[in-house]
């Protein structure tokens, strides 16, 4: 039995939540259309296409065209969802997202699958490690980085029903611990307190939320009490919670399955330096591409597992000034 099973966490790919939400939303919104790029099963957009084939369009391996189609359909009154792997959605179609979708404030929702190195054996070409940085700088873009399948489901529903404009939802391929359920709160732009503590704050997103919970348990065994925050919405960012954590705990460690440069940690640092500067450190991919391997092996090799987070937290504590 692994450590996740010991906590009673079911292991479910977060992409499943995206598919479940699309199927659920389709019943309530006849104007919802979904566009795929030849990876429908992998992104779980198949949950929609199999039940509503007349409202599904496969653009093939032509991501720029898919983004343009989504923009055009939205400007004609549809709610358009475009999904593929994050490296292709945010990478190949960046110009179309920037100029055709965001500049037009088109009501397009982008499902960016296979985020992070935990994609596994597919390797560096398919491991999206830059899309938080590129998507969060775009005006009018909302960016979600949910922690598990259920939070991905809620983020997708919120993207369609609460936000009129561009949204990017980042989710993964590999099974991750289910740390939320139907009753767990989810509010756009409001970070979620997962675990309280006074010695430092760990702000995490995506799969790193579960790893941060485990890291906090290690720290507690050494009488270090870490607050854990689930920053599922990177943009608009929850400035109030971040400032509150800085003031109350005196140190902030961020954890993300993404490049450190320009990622969620950078977004948090922008808030900290402008509101209440405290010592900070960052857990993430440090200026390198991914590699092929099993998800758990890659998290450990890249210093993203819970033990690595705990070690960085202990080092950060030494730098506290308050």
* Residues designated catalytic: 63
- 3-state SS of the chain is CCHHHHCCCCEEEHHHHHHHHHHHHHHHCCCEEEEECCCHHHHCCHHHHCCCHHHEEECCCCHHHHHHHHHHHHHCCCEEEEEEEHHHHHHHCHHHHHHHHHCCCCCEEEEEECECHHHCCCCHHHCECCHHHHHHCCCCCEEECCCCHHHHHHHHHHHHHCCCCCEEEECCCCEEECCCCCCCCCECCECEEEECCCCEEEEECCCHHHHHHHHHHHHHHCCCCEEEEECCEEECCCHHHHHHHHHHHCCEEEEEEEECCCCHHHHHHHHHHHHCCCCEEEEEECCCCCCCCCHHHHHHHCCCCHHHHHHHHHHHHCCCCC
Do 301 and 291 contact (CB within 8 A), yes or no?
yes
Peptide bond just before 86 cis, omega within 30 deg: no
> CA quadruple 155, 160, 165, 171: dihedral positive or negative?
positive
């Amino acid at each position: 039995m692994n450590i996740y099973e010991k906590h009673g966490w079911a292991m479910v790919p977060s992409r499943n939540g995206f598919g479940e939400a699309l199927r659920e939303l389709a019943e309530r919104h006849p104007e919802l259309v979904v566009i795929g790029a030849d990876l429908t099963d992998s992104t779980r957009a198949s949950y929609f296409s199999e039940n509503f084939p007349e409202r599904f369009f496969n653009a093939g391996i032509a991501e720029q065209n898919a983004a343009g189609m989504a923009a055009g359909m939205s400007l004609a009154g549809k709610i358009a969802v475009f999904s593929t792997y994050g490296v292709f959605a945010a990478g190949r179609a960046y110009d179309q997202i920037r100029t055709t979708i965001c500049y037009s404030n088109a009501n397009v929702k982008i499902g960016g699958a296979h985020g992070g190195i935990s994609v596994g054996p597919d390797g560096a070409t398919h491991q999206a490690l830059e899309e938080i940085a590129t998507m969060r700088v775009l005006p009018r873009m909302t960016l979600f980085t949910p922690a598990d399948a259920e939070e991905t489901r809620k983020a997708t529903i919120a993207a369609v029903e609460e936000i009129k404009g561009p949204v990017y939802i980042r989710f993964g391929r590999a099974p991750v611990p289910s740390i939320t359920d139907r009753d767990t709160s989810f509010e756009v732009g409001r970070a979620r307190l997962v675990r309280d503590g006074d010695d430092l704050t760990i702000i995490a997103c995506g799969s790193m939320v579960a790893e941060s919970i485990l890291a906090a348990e290690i720290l507690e065994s050494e009488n270090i009490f870490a607050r854990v925050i689930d920053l599922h919405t990177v943009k608009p960012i929850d400035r109030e919670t971040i400032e509150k954590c800085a003031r109350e705990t005196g140190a902030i460690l961020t954890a993300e399955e993404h490049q450190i440069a320009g990622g969620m940690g950078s977004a948090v640092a922008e808030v900290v330096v402008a509101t209440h500067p405290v010592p900070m450190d960052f857990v993430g991919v440090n200026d390198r591409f991914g590699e092929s391997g099993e998800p758990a092996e890659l998290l450990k090799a890249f210093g993203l597992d819970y033990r690595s987070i705990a070690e960085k937290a202990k080092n950060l504590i030494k730098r506290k000034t308050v």
